[in-house]
Amino acid sequence: MCLIKPYWRRQIGRLPRIELIIATLAGIAGVAGSFTAAGYTRDFIVAPIDAMVVRMTPGRIVAFMIDTVGEEAHLLHIALSYVLAVGLLSVAALIGLRLSSEYNRPFLGILLTGLLSWGIAGAITGLPVLSLAAAGPVTLVAGIGINPLAEPNHNPSRRRVLTASVATVAAVLGGIGFGRTRTVNNRSDEDRLSGVSEDTGTKKSDTDGVETMIRHAEQKALDIDGDIPGLVSTFDEFYNVDIAEFDPELSADDWSMTITGEVDDELTITFDELTDMSTEHRFVTLRCIGESLNGQKLDNAVWTGTPIKPILDQIDPDGQCQCAMLRAEDGYSIQYPIDALETAFLAWGMNGEPLPQSHGRPVRVLLPGHWGETNVKWLSEIEMLNQEMKGYWEQRGWHGTGPVNTVAKLWSDTRLDDGHIELAGHAYAGTRGIDRVEVSTDGGDSWAHAELSEPLDGEDVWRQWRHEFEPEPEPENSRTVVVRAVDKEGNLQQQEQTDSFPNGAHGWVEQSIDA
Ligand SMILES: Nc1nc2c(c(=O)[nH]1)N[C@H]1C(S)=C(S)[C@@H](COP(=O)(O)O)O[C@H]1N2
Ligand SMILES: [Mo]
Protein backbone atom coordinates (compact mmCIF):
# COMPACT_ATOMS: atom_id res chain seq x y z
CA MET A 1 0.00 0.00 0.00
CA CYS A 2 2.72 2.40 0.99
CA LEU A 3 4.44 1.74 -2.30
CA ILE A 4 2.44 4.52 -3.88
CA LYS A 5 3.52 7.92 -2.67
CA PRO A 6 0.75 9.89 -0.94
CA TYR A 7 0.71 12.48 -3.73
CA TRP A 8 -0.02 9.87 -6.36
CA ARG A 9 -2.46 8.08 -4.10
CA ARG A 10 -4.42 11.28 -3.85
CA GLN A 11 -4.28 11.79 -7.61
CA ILE A 12 -5.58 8.29 -8.31
CA GLY A 13 -8.24 8.76 -5.65
CA ARG A 14 -9.40 11.85 -7.48
CA LEU A 15 -9.87 10.12 -10.81
CA PRO A 16 -13.52 9.64 -11.60
CA ARG A 17 -14.46 6.03 -10.93
CA ILE A 18 -16.15 5.76 -14.31
CA GLU A 19 -12.95 6.62 -16.15
CA LEU A 20 -11.06 3.96 -14.25
CA ILE A 21 -13.73 1.40 -15.10
CA ILE A 22 -13.74 2.29 -18.78
CA ALA A 23 -9.95 2.35 -18.96
CA THR A 24 -9.83 -1.12 -17.40
CA LEU A 25 -12.42 -2.38 -19.86
CA ALA A 26 -10.35 -0.88 -22.67
CA GLY A 27 -7.26 -2.70 -21.37
CA ILE A 28 -9.16 -6.01 -21.28
CA ALA A 29 -10.45 -5.44 -24.80
CA GLY A 30 -6.90 -4.70 -25.97
CA VAL A 31 -5.54 -7.94 -24.54
CA ALA A 32 -8.45 -9.77 -26.18
CA GLY A 33 -7.63 -8.03 -29.48
CA SER A 34 -4.02 -9.13 -29.25
CA PHE A 35 -5.18 -12.69 -28.59
CA THR A 36 -7.49 -12.53 -31.60
CA ALA A 37 -4.57 -11.77 -33.88
CA ALA A 38 -1.80 -13.78 -32.25
CA GLY A 39 -3.49 -16.68 -30.46
CA TYR A 40 -1.74 -18.28 -27.51
CA THR A 41 1.72 -17.86 -28.99
CA ARG A 42 4.80 -15.83 -28.32
CA ASP A 43 3.30 -12.97 -30.34
CA PHE A 44 0.51 -12.55 -27.79
CA ILE A 45 1.05 -9.41 -25.69
CA VAL A 46 1.03 -11.42 -22.46
CA ALA A 47 3.94 -13.62 -23.64
CA PRO A 48 6.86 -11.17 -23.34
CA ILE A 49 5.45 -9.86 -20.07
CA ASP A 50 5.27 -13.38 -18.70
CA ALA A 51 8.84 -14.06 -19.79
CA MET A 52 9.91 -10.94 -17.90
CA VAL A 53 7.96 -11.93 -14.80
CA VAL A 54 9.58 -15.40 -14.86
CA ARG A 55 13.05 -13.87 -15.24
CA MET A 56 12.52 -11.36 -12.46
CA THR A 57 10.94 -13.59 -9.83
CA PRO A 58 13.60 -14.22 -7.16
CA GLY A 59 14.69 -17.83 -6.82
CA ARG A 60 13.64 -18.18 -3.20
CA ILE A 61 10.11 -17.20 -4.11
CA VAL A 62 10.00 -19.72 -6.96
CA ALA A 63 11.27 -22.54 -4.72
CA PHE A 64 8.86 -21.54 -1.96
CA MET A 65 5.91 -21.41 -4.36
CA ILE A 66 6.66 -24.78 -5.92
CA ASP A 67 7.02 -26.28 -2.49
CA THR A 68 3.80 -24.86 -1.09
CA VAL A 69 1.54 -24.26 -4.07
CA GLY A 70 2.99 -26.84 -6.47
CA GLU A 71 2.44 -26.70 -10.20
CA GLU A 72 -0.45 -24.26 -9.81
CA ALA A 73 2.21 -21.67 -8.98
CA HIS A 74 2.47 -21.41 -12.75
CA LEU A 75 -1.02 -19.94 -12.86
CA LEU A 76 0.01 -17.16 -10.52
CA HIS A 77 2.67 -15.71 -12.76
CA ILE A 78 0.42 -16.02 -15.77
CA ALA A 79 -2.39 -14.25 -13.92
CA LEU A 80 0.03 -11.52 -12.88
CA SER A 81 1.14 -11.15 -16.50
CA TYR A 82 -2.45 -10.73 -17.66
CA VAL A 83 -3.03 -8.08 -15.01
CA LEU A 84 0.11 -6.22 -16.09
CA ALA A 85 -0.88 -6.37 -19.77
CA VAL A 86 -4.37 -5.07 -19.04
CA GLY A 87 -2.94 -2.40 -16.73
CA LEU A 88 -0.43 -1.09 -19.24
CA LEU A 89 -3.01 -0.79 -22.00
CA SER A 90 -5.51 0.87 -19.70
CA VAL A 91 -3.01 3.59 -18.95
CA ALA A 92 -3.27 4.60 -22.63
CA ALA A 93 -7.06 4.70 -22.37
CA LEU A 94 -6.99 6.57 -19.10
CA ILE A 95 -4.78 9.29 -20.53
CA GLY A 96 -7.18 9.72 -23.45
CA LEU A 97 -10.21 9.82 -21.15
CA ARG A 98 -8.53 12.40 -18.93
CA LEU A 99 -7.60 14.57 -21.86
CA SER A 100 -11.14 14.65 -23.13
CA SER A 101 -12.83 15.26 -19.79
CA GLU A 102 -10.34 17.72 -18.27
CA TYR A 103 -9.57 19.70 -21.40
CA ASN A 104 -12.65 18.87 -23.43
CA ARG A 105 -10.63 17.54 -26.33
CA PRO A 106 -12.49 14.29 -27.13
CA PHE A 107 -11.03 13.61 -30.59
CA LEU A 108 -7.53 14.35 -29.42
CA GLY A 109 -8.14 12.02 -26.46
CA ILE A 110 -9.18 9.20 -28.75
CA LEU A 111 -6.26 9.79 -31.09
CA LEU A 112 -3.81 9.80 -28.21
CA THR A 113 -5.28 6.59 -26.78
CA GLY A 114 -4.83 4.95 -30.16
CA LEU A 115 -1.23 6.07 -30.56
CA LEU A 116 -0.25 5.30 -26.99
CA SER A 117 -1.82 1.84 -26.88
CA TRP A 118 -0.24 0.99 -30.22
CA GLY A 119 3.11 2.22 -28.93
CA ILE A 120 2.80 0.26 -25.69
CA ALA A 121 1.77 -2.96 -27.44
CA GLY A 122 4.52 -2.45 -30.00
CA ALA A 123 7.16 -1.84 -27.37
CA ILE A 124 6.15 -5.00 -25.51
CA THR A 125 5.87 -7.35 -28.47
CA GLY A 126 8.17 -5.71 -31.01
CA LEU A 127 5.46 -6.35 -33.60
CA PRO A 128 4.02 -3.05 -34.93
CA VAL A 129 1.44 -4.56 -37.28
CA LEU A 130 0.06 -7.14 -34.85
CA SER A 131 -0.05 -4.41 -32.21
CA LEU A 132 -2.81 -2.69 -34.17
CA ALA A 133 -5.02 -5.59 -33.09
CA ALA A 134 -4.46 -4.59 -29.47
CA ALA A 135 -4.66 -0.81 -30.06
CA GLY A 136 -7.93 -1.03 -32.02
CA PRO A 137 -10.13 -2.41 -29.25
CA VAL A 138 -8.47 -0.18 -26.63
CA THR A 139 -9.27 2.88 -28.73
CA LEU A 140 -12.79 1.70 -29.51
CA VAL A 141 -13.73 1.10 -25.88
CA ALA A 142 -12.09 4.35 -24.73
CA GLY A 143 -13.89 6.09 -27.60
CA ILE A 144 -17.22 4.73 -26.38
CA GLY A 145 -16.34 6.07 -22.95
CA ILE A 146 -15.47 9.45 -24.37
CA ASN A 147 -18.32 9.52 -26.89
CA PRO A 148 -17.43 12.76 -28.71
CA LEU A 149 -20.69 12.82 -30.67
CA ALA A 150 -23.06 13.02 -27.72
CA GLU A 151 -24.49 16.24 -26.47
CA PRO A 152 -22.75 16.99 -23.17
CA ASN A 153 -25.91 16.48 -21.17
CA HIS A 154 -27.20 13.48 -23.07
CA ASN A 155 -24.37 11.22 -22.23
CA PRO A 156 -25.24 9.52 -18.95
CA SER A 157 -22.26 7.67 -17.53
CA ARG A 158 -24.22 4.50 -16.83
CA ARG A 159 -25.00 4.06 -20.49
CA ARG A 160 -21.39 4.66 -21.49
CA VAL A 161 -20.15 2.03 -19.04
CA LEU A 162 -22.79 -0.38 -20.29
CA THR A 163 -21.87 0.12 -23.95
CA ALA A 164 -18.17 -0.12 -23.16
CA SER A 165 -18.84 -3.35 -21.25
CA VAL A 166 -20.77 -4.83 -24.13
CA ALA A 167 -17.95 -3.91 -26.53
CA THR A 168 -15.39 -5.46 -24.19
CA VAL A 169 -17.35 -8.67 -23.75
CA ALA A 170 -17.71 -8.86 -27.55
CA ALA A 171 -13.95 -8.34 -27.93
CA VAL A 172 -13.22 -11.06 -25.37
CA LEU A 173 -15.65 -13.55 -26.92
CA GLY A 174 -14.40 -12.76 -30.42
CA GLY A 175 -10.85 -13.03 -29.15
CA ILE A 176 -11.45 -16.44 -27.62
CA GLY A 177 -13.07 -17.66 -30.83
CA PHE A 178 -10.56 -16.29 -33.33
CA GLY A 179 -7.51 -16.56 -31.11
CA ARG A 180 -8.19 -20.25 -30.58
CA THR A 181 -8.13 -20.88 -34.29
CA ARG A 182 -4.91 -18.88 -34.51
CA THR A 183 -3.41 -21.13 -31.86
CA VAL A 184 -4.65 -24.22 -33.66
CA ASN A 185 -3.42 -22.91 -37.01
CA ASN A 186 -0.03 -22.52 -35.48
CA ARG A 187 -0.15 -26.14 -34.46
CA SER A 188 -0.95 -27.22 -37.98
CA ASP A 189 1.97 -25.11 -39.19
CA GLU A 190 4.00 -27.42 -37.02
CA ASP A 191 2.51 -30.43 -38.70
CA ARG A 192 3.30 -28.99 -42.10
CA LEU A 193 6.82 -28.42 -40.91
CA SER A 194 7.10 -32.14 -40.42
CA GLY A 195 6.64 -32.52 -44.15
CA VAL A 196 9.20 -29.82 -44.90
CA SER A 197 11.83 -31.22 -42.62
CA GLU A 198 11.45 -34.77 -43.83
CA ASP A 199 14.67 -34.51 -45.77
CA THR A 200 16.60 -32.80 -43.01
CA GLY A 201 14.81 -34.30 -40.02
CA THR A 202 13.47 -37.74 -39.48
CA LYS A 203 14.05 -39.57 -42.73
CA LYS A 204 11.43 -41.90 -44.11
CA SER A 205 13.46 -45.05 -43.58
CA ASP A 206 14.09 -43.99 -39.98
CA THR A 207 10.41 -43.62 -39.34
CA ASP A 208 9.90 -47.27 -40.24
CA GLY A 209 12.39 -48.22 -37.56
CA VAL A 210 10.50 -46.16 -35.03
CA GLU A 211 7.22 -47.80 -35.95
CA THR A 212 8.74 -51.22 -35.37
CA MET A 213 9.97 -50.11 -31.96
CA ILE A 214 6.56 -48.76 -31.02
CA ARG A 215 4.95 -52.05 -32.13
CA HIS A 216 7.38 -54.03 -30.02
CA ALA A 217 6.62 -51.83 -27.06
CA GLU A 218 2.90 -52.46 -27.55
CA GLN A 219 3.55 -56.20 -27.54
CA LYS A 220 5.57 -55.91 -24.36
CA ALA A 221 2.91 -53.91 -22.53
CA LEU A 222 1.00 -55.87 -19.90
CA ASP A 223 -2.63 -56.64 -20.35
CA ILE A 224 -3.99 -54.17 -17.81
CA ASP A 225 -7.67 -53.50 -17.23
CA GLY A 226 -7.08 -50.25 -15.35
CA ASP A 227 -6.63 -46.99 -17.18
CA ILE A 228 -2.87 -46.46 -17.19
CA PRO A 229 -0.46 -45.28 -19.90
CA GLY A 230 1.22 -47.74 -22.23
CA LEU A 231 4.98 -48.13 -22.52
CA VAL A 232 5.29 -45.32 -25.09
CA SER A 233 3.66 -42.00 -24.20
CA THR A 234 1.91 -40.17 -27.02
CA PHE A 235 2.53 -36.45 -27.62
CA ASP A 236 -0.63 -35.64 -25.72
CA GLU A 237 0.21 -37.87 -22.78
CA PHE A 238 3.86 -36.91 -22.43
CA TYR A 239 4.20 -34.50 -19.52
CA ASN A 240 5.53 -31.00 -20.02
CA VAL A 241 7.59 -28.83 -17.71
CA ASP A 242 8.69 -25.40 -18.92
CA ILE A 243 10.03 -22.39 -17.09
CA ALA A 244 8.27 -20.13 -19.60
CA GLU A 245 4.59 -20.17 -20.45
CA PHE A 246 5.33 -19.52 -24.13
CA ASP A 247 7.76 -21.90 -25.78
CA PRO A 248 10.44 -20.71 -28.20
CA GLU A 249 9.46 -21.14 -31.83
CA LEU A 250 12.55 -22.20 -33.72
CA SER A 251 12.90 -23.59 -37.17
CA ALA A 252 15.37 -26.32 -37.96
CA ASP A 253 16.82 -24.26 -40.81
CA ASP A 254 17.85 -21.39 -38.56
CA TRP A 255 18.98 -23.54 -35.65
CA SER A 256 22.56 -24.04 -34.62
CA MET A 257 24.36 -24.94 -31.44
CA THR A 258 27.70 -23.53 -30.39
CA ILE A 259 30.25 -24.95 -28.02
CA THR A 260 31.95 -22.04 -26.29
CA GLY A 261 34.00 -21.18 -23.21
CA GLU A 262 37.14 -23.06 -22.23
CA VAL A 263 37.92 -24.42 -25.67
CA ASP A 264 40.63 -23.51 -28.16
CA ASP A 265 38.17 -23.01 -30.99
CA GLU A 266 34.45 -22.57 -30.72
CA LEU A 267 32.46 -25.13 -32.63
CA THR A 268 29.11 -24.47 -34.28
CA ILE A 269 26.85 -27.28 -35.46
CA THR A 270 23.89 -26.68 -37.76
CA PHE A 271 20.78 -28.82 -37.94
CA ASP A 272 21.88 -30.33 -41.25
CA GLU A 273 25.28 -31.23 -39.88
CA LEU A 274 23.70 -32.79 -36.83
CA THR A 275 21.18 -34.89 -38.73
CA ASP A 276 23.88 -36.06 -41.12
CA MET A 277 25.64 -37.75 -38.21
CA SER A 278 24.87 -41.34 -37.32
CA THR A 279 21.20 -41.55 -36.47
CA GLU A 280 19.75 -43.75 -33.74
CA HIS A 281 16.37 -44.36 -32.18
CA ARG A 282 16.28 -44.82 -28.45
CA PHE A 283 13.67 -45.42 -25.83
CA VAL A 284 14.35 -42.90 -23.07
CA THR A 285 12.22 -42.28 -20.00
CA LEU A 286 12.04 -38.85 -18.36
CA ARG A 287 10.98 -38.00 -14.83
CA CYS A 288 10.65 -34.53 -13.33
CA ILE A 289 12.29 -34.00 -9.95
CA GLY A 290 9.41 -31.69 -9.00
CA GLU A 291 6.67 -34.32 -9.29
CA SER A 292 4.98 -35.73 -6.22
CA LEU A 293 5.79 -39.27 -5.15
CA ASN A 294 2.90 -40.89 -7.02
CA GLY A 295 2.65 -38.11 -9.63
CA GLN A 296 2.52 -38.55 -13.40
CA LYS A 297 5.46 -36.51 -14.59
CA LEU A 298 7.10 -39.71 -15.74
CA ASP A 299 6.95 -40.67 -19.41
CA ASN A 300 8.72 -42.59 -22.11
CA ALA A 301 9.13 -42.07 -25.85
CA VAL A 302 11.19 -43.23 -28.83
CA TRP A 303 13.63 -40.46 -29.60
CA THR A 304 15.56 -40.01 -32.81
CA GLY A 305 18.92 -38.33 -32.66
CA THR A 306 22.64 -38.75 -32.41
CA PRO A 307 25.10 -39.34 -29.56
CA ILE A 308 26.93 -36.18 -28.53
CA LYS A 309 30.27 -37.91 -27.89
CA PRO A 310 31.70 -37.58 -31.44
CA ILE A 311 30.94 -33.85 -31.33
CA LEU A 312 32.63 -33.42 -27.97
CA ASP A 313 35.62 -35.38 -29.25
CA GLN A 314 36.23 -32.59 -31.77
CA ILE A 315 36.97 -30.11 -29.02
CA ASP A 316 39.39 -30.15 -26.19
CA PRO A 317 37.90 -28.52 -23.13
CA ASP A 318 40.56 -27.43 -20.69
CA GLY A 319 38.49 -25.90 -17.89
CA GLN A 320 39.38 -26.77 -14.30
CA CYS A 321 36.00 -28.12 -13.27
CA GLN A 322 35.59 -30.36 -16.31
CA CYS A 323 32.00 -29.21 -16.33
CA ALA A 324 29.70 -27.55 -18.82
CA MET A 325 26.78 -25.15 -18.77
CA LEU A 326 24.02 -25.96 -21.21
CA ARG A 327 21.86 -23.07 -22.34
CA ALA A 328 18.60 -22.84 -24.23
CA GLU A 329 16.63 -20.29 -26.22
CA ASP A 330 14.12 -19.75 -23.40
CA GLY A 331 16.81 -18.60 -20.97
CA TYR A 332 17.03 -22.01 -19.32
CA SER A 333 20.40 -23.29 -18.17
CA ILE A 334 21.84 -26.26 -16.35
CA GLN A 335 25.33 -27.34 -15.46
CA TYR A 336 26.77 -30.82 -15.15
CA PRO A 337 30.10 -32.65 -15.51
CA ILE A 338 31.50 -33.29 -18.98
CA ASP A 339 31.66 -36.98 -18.00
CA ALA A 340 27.89 -37.03 -17.77
CA LEU A 341 27.45 -34.88 -20.86
CA GLU A 342 29.45 -37.40 -22.89
CA THR A 343 26.71 -39.97 -22.37
CA ALA A 344 24.05 -37.61 -23.74
CA PHE A 345 22.03 -37.90 -26.90
CA LEU A 346 20.90 -34.97 -29.06
CA ALA A 347 17.37 -35.68 -30.19
CA TRP A 348 15.44 -34.08 -33.04
CA GLY A 349 12.67 -36.65 -33.38
CA MET A 350 10.06 -38.09 -31.05
CA ASN A 351 7.86 -41.10 -31.79
CA GLY A 352 8.70 -40.82 -35.48
CA GLU A 353 7.91 -37.11 -35.88
CA PRO A 354 10.10 -34.02 -35.59
CA LEU A 355 10.29 -32.90 -31.97
CA PRO A 356 7.09 -31.08 -31.04
CA GLN A 357 7.61 -27.44 -30.16
CA SER A 358 6.75 -28.10 -26.51
CA HIS A 359 9.39 -30.82 -26.24
CA GLY A 360 12.23 -28.69 -27.58
CA ARG A 361 12.05 -28.33 -31.35
CA PRO A 362 14.34 -28.54 -33.12
CA VAL A 363 16.92 -30.13 -30.81
CA ARG A 364 16.97 -31.26 -27.19
CA VAL A 365 19.36 -33.11 -24.92
CA LEU A 366 18.57 -36.50 -23.40
CA LEU A 367 20.80 -37.51 -20.54
CA PRO A 368 20.34 -41.13 -19.52
CA GLY A 369 19.33 -41.77 -15.93
CA HIS A 370 19.34 -38.17 -14.74
CA TRP A 371 16.39 -36.07 -13.64
CA GLY A 372 14.18 -34.46 -16.30
CA GLU A 373 15.71 -31.03 -15.81
CA THR A 374 19.03 -32.13 -17.33
CA ASN A 375 17.27 -32.80 -20.65
CA VAL A 376 17.63 -29.29 -22.08
CA LYS A 377 15.06 -28.37 -24.73
CA TRP A 378 15.66 -25.76 -27.48
CA LEU A 379 19.40 -26.26 -26.91
CA SER A 380 21.50 -23.34 -28.14
CA GLU A 381 24.86 -23.38 -26.40
CA ILE A 382 27.20 -25.60 -24.47
CA GLU A 383 29.68 -23.52 -22.53
CA MET A 384 32.73 -25.30 -21.19
CA LEU A 385 33.38 -23.83 -17.77
CA ASN A 386 36.40 -23.26 -15.64
CA GLN A 387 34.43 -23.16 -12.42
CA GLU A 388 31.15 -24.68 -11.37
CA MET A 389 28.11 -22.44 -11.72
CA LYS A 390 24.47 -22.97 -10.91
CA GLY A 391 21.85 -23.45 -13.59
CA TYR A 392 18.27 -22.23 -13.50
CA TRP A 393 16.83 -24.75 -11.01
CA GLU A 394 19.97 -25.11 -8.90
CA GLN A 395 19.93 -21.32 -8.38
CA ARG A 396 16.46 -21.90 -6.99
CA GLY A 397 17.58 -24.52 -4.50
CA TRP A 398 16.97 -27.81 -6.33
CA HIS A 399 19.53 -30.62 -6.50
CA GLY A 400 18.41 -32.11 -9.77
CA THR A 401 21.49 -32.84 -11.84
CA GLY A 402 22.11 -36.28 -10.36
CA PRO A 403 20.59 -39.71 -11.02
CA VAL A 404 16.86 -40.26 -10.50
CA ASN A 405 15.39 -41.90 -7.40
CA THR A 406 13.84 -45.33 -7.75
CA VAL A 407 10.07 -45.31 -7.75
CA ALA A 408 7.13 -47.68 -8.20
CA LYS A 409 3.90 -45.84 -9.01
CA LEU A 410 0.46 -47.11 -8.10
CA TRP A 411 -1.64 -45.65 -10.88
CA SER A 412 -4.73 -47.84 -10.90
CA ASP A 413 -6.81 -50.17 -8.79
CA THR A 414 -9.62 -51.92 -10.62
CA ARG A 415 -12.20 -54.50 -9.63
CA LEU A 416 -12.24 -57.18 -12.33
CA ASP A 417 -15.32 -59.09 -13.49
CA ASP A 418 -14.38 -62.10 -11.37
CA GLY A 419 -14.27 -59.92 -8.26
CA HIS A 420 -10.47 -59.84 -8.07
CA ILE A 421 -8.65 -56.57 -7.63
CA GLU A 422 -6.00 -55.50 -10.10
CA LEU A 423 -3.31 -53.07 -9.05
CA ALA A 424 -1.02 -51.56 -11.68
CA GLY A 425 1.48 -48.85 -12.42
CA HIS A 426 4.92 -48.08 -13.76
CA ALA A 427 8.32 -48.37 -12.11
CA TYR A 428 11.52 -46.54 -12.95
CA ALA A 429 15.10 -46.50 -11.66
CA GLY A 430 16.97 -44.66 -14.43
CA THR A 431 20.02 -46.50 -15.76
CA ARG A 432 20.05 -48.84 -12.74
CA GLY A 433 16.97 -50.50 -14.22
CA ILE A 434 14.07 -52.10 -12.39
CA ASP A 435 14.67 -55.63 -11.10
CA ARG A 436 11.32 -56.19 -9.42
CA VAL A 437 8.29 -54.53 -7.93
CA GLU A 438 6.88 -55.79 -4.64
CA VAL A 439 3.31 -55.26 -3.53
CA SER A 440 1.76 -55.52 -0.10
CA THR A 441 -2.01 -55.61 0.31
CA ASP A 442 -1.87 -55.72 4.12
CA GLY A 443 -0.15 -52.46 4.92
CA GLY A 444 3.37 -53.83 4.56
CA ASP A 445 3.21 -57.07 6.61
CA SER A 446 3.60 -59.41 3.67
CA TRP A 447 4.92 -58.83 0.16
CA ALA A 448 4.35 -60.42 -3.23
CA HIS A 449 6.22 -59.97 -6.49
CA ALA A 450 4.26 -58.10 -9.13
CA GLU A 451 4.11 -59.17 -12.75
CA LEU A 452 6.52 -56.98 -14.80
CA SER A 453 6.56 -56.00 -18.46
CA GLU A 454 9.52 -57.23 -20.52
CA PRO A 455 12.14 -54.48 -20.48
CA LEU A 456 12.25 -52.26 -23.55
CA ASP A 457 15.55 -52.03 -25.40
CA GLY A 458 17.48 -49.19 -23.89
CA GLU A 459 19.52 -48.30 -20.84
CA ASP A 460 17.08 -45.79 -19.34
CA VAL A 461 13.55 -47.13 -19.49
CA TRP A 462 10.59 -47.70 -17.25
CA ARG A 463 8.58 -50.92 -16.83
CA GLN A 464 4.93 -51.62 -16.17
CA TRP A 465 3.85 -53.78 -13.27
CA ARG A 466 0.57 -55.51 -12.40
CA HIS A 467 -0.66 -57.44 -9.40
CA GLU A 468 -3.96 -59.22 -8.97
CA PHE A 469 -5.41 -60.42 -5.68
CA GLU A 470 -8.61 -61.77 -4.26
CA PRO A 471 -10.27 -59.55 -1.70
CA GLU A 472 -11.79 -60.96 1.49
CA PRO A 473 -15.27 -62.45 0.97
CA GLU A 474 -16.53 -60.01 3.57
CA PRO A 475 -15.04 -56.77 2.29
CA GLU A 476 -13.32 -54.76 4.91
CA ASN A 477 -13.92 -51.07 4.66
CA SER A 478 -10.52 -50.49 3.24
CA ARG A 479 -7.06 -51.94 3.19
CA THR A 480 -3.68 -50.41 2.73
CA VAL A 481 -1.72 -51.20 -0.38
CA VAL A 482 2.00 -50.45 -0.48
CA VAL A 483 4.31 -50.78 -3.48
CA ARG A 484 8.09 -50.62 -3.69
CA ALA A 485 10.74 -51.40 -6.28
CA VAL A 486 14.17 -52.96 -6.23
CA ASP A 487 16.68 -51.80 -8.82
CA LYS A 488 19.01 -54.07 -10.78
CA GLU A 489 21.87 -53.21 -8.43
CA GLY A 490 19.86 -54.80 -5.64
CA ASN A 491 18.89 -51.58 -3.85
CA LEU A 492 15.47 -51.49 -2.29
CA GLN A 493 13.65 -48.20 -2.87
CA GLN A 494 13.98 -45.90 0.16
CA GLN A 495 10.99 -46.31 2.50
CA GLU A 496 11.03 -42.95 4.23
CA GLN A 497 8.91 -40.39 2.41
CA THR A 498 10.28 -36.97 1.50
CA ASP A 499 8.94 -34.04 -0.49
CA SER A 500 10.14 -33.48 -4.00
CA PHE A 501 12.07 -30.34 -3.01
CA PRO A 502 15.06 -30.35 -3.24
CA ASN A 503 16.17 -33.93 -4.09
CA GLY A 504 13.08 -35.48 -5.67
CA ALA A 505 10.35 -37.38 -3.83
CA HIS A 506 11.35 -40.54 -1.97
CA GLY A 507 9.30 -43.23 -0.30
CA TRP A 508 7.01 -46.17 -0.89
CA VAL A 509 3.67 -45.31 -2.45
CA GLU A 510 0.90 -46.24 -0.06
CA GLN A 511 -2.84 -46.07 -0.71
CA SER A 512 -5.93 -47.31 0.97
CA ILE A 513 -8.40 -48.97 -1.34
CA ASP A 514 -11.83 -50.53 -0.87
CA ALA A 515 -11.43 -54.27 -0.85
N1 LIG B 1 15.02 -25.13 -22.32
C2 LIG B 1 14.37 -25.80 -21.35
N3 LIG B 1 14.67 -27.09 -21.16
C4 LIG B 1 14.02 -27.79 -20.19
C5 LIG B 1 13.07 -27.17 -19.34
C6 LIG B 1 12.79 -25.80 -19.57
O7 LIG B 1 11.94 -25.18 -18.90
N8 LIG B 1 13.45 -25.14 -20.58
N9 LIG B 1 12.47 -27.90 -18.34
C10 LIG B 1 13.21 -29.06 -17.85
C11 LIG B 1 12.47 -29.90 -16.93
S12 LIG B 1 12.35 -29.35 -15.32
C13 LIG B 1 11.98 -31.13 -17.29
S14 LIG B 1 11.29 -32.17 -16.15
C15 LIG B 1 12.05 -31.59 -18.70
C16 LIG B 1 10.66 -31.86 -19.21
O17 LIG B 1 10.68 -32.22 -20.55
P18 LIG B 1 9.32 -32.31 -21.35
O19 LIG B 1 8.59 -31.01 -21.20
O20 LIG B 1 9.68 -32.63 -22.76
O21 LIG B 1 8.55 -33.43 -20.70
O22 LIG B 1 12.65 -30.63 -19.56
C23 LIG B 1 13.73 -29.92 -19.00
N24 LIG B 1 14.34 -29.10 -20.02
MO1 LIG C 1 11.63 -31.13 -14.09
Q: Which ligand is nearest to the CA of 241?
A: 1
Q: How far separated are the first and last CA of the chain, in Å rounded?
A: 55
User: Which atom of ligand 1 is least distant from the CA of 243?
Assistant: 7
State in Å: Cα 328 to ligand 2 middle.
15
| pLDDT single digits (tens) 239-257 | 999 888 888 989 999 999 9
For residue 16, the model assigns a pLDDT of: 82
Pocket test for ligand 1, best of 238, 240, 288 (most atoms within 8 A of CB): 288
Q: Residue 496 in 3-state DSSP?
A: coil
6 Cα distance to chain centroid: 41
For residue 269, the model assigns a pLDDT of: 97
CA distance 352 to 213: 10
User: Which atom of ligand 1 is least distant from the CA of 328?
Assistant: 1
CA distance 376 to 366: 7
Q: Residue 370 in 3-state DSSP?
A: strand
CA distance 345 to 360: 13
Contact between residue 82 and residue 35 where contact means Cβ atoms under 8 Å apart: no
Contact between residue 26 and residue 146 where contact means Cβ atoms under 8 Å apart: no
Tell whether omega for the bond before 455 is within 30 degrees of 0, i.e. cis: no
List CB contacts of 152: < 8 A, sequence separation 6 or more.
none
List CB contacts of 324: < 8 A, sequence separation 6 or more.
261, 317, 335, 336, 337, 338, 341, 382, 383, 384, 385
The pTM is what?
Answer: 0.79
Is the CB of residue 359 below 6 angstroms from any atom belonging to ligand 1?
yes
State in Å: Cα 156 to ligand 1 middle.
54
Is the CB of residue 378 below 6 angstroms from any atom belonging to ligand 1?
yes
- Dihedral angle sign, alpha carbons of residues 265, 266, 270, 275: positive
Tell whether omega for the bond before 475 is within 30 degrees of 0, i.e. cis: no
For residue 51, the model assigns a pLDDT of: 86
For residue 12, the model assigns a pLDDT of: 67
Q: Residue 310 in 3-state DSSP?
A: helix
- Residue-wise DSSP of 233-275: --TTTS----SSSS-----TTT-EEEEEESSSS-EEEEHHHHH
Q: Which ligand is nearest to the CA of 235?
A: 1
User: Which atom of ligand 1 is least distant from the CA of 240?
Assistant: 19
Is the CB of residue 235 below 6 angstroms from any atom belonging to ligand 1?
no
State in Å: Cα 174 to ligand 1 middle.
33
10 Å CB burial of residue 415 (0-12, 13-18, 19+) is middle
State in Å: Cα 380 to ligand 1 middle.
14
* Low-confidence stretches of the chain (pLDDT beneath 70): 1-5, 8-9, 11-14, 59-60, 62-64, 66-71, 151-156, 183-206, 474-476
State in Å: Cα 9 to ligand 1 middle.
43
For residue 42, the model assigns a pLDDT of: 85
Is the CB of residue 250 below 6 angstroms from any atom belonging to ligand 1?
no
Residue nearest to atom 24 of ligand 1 (CA): 376
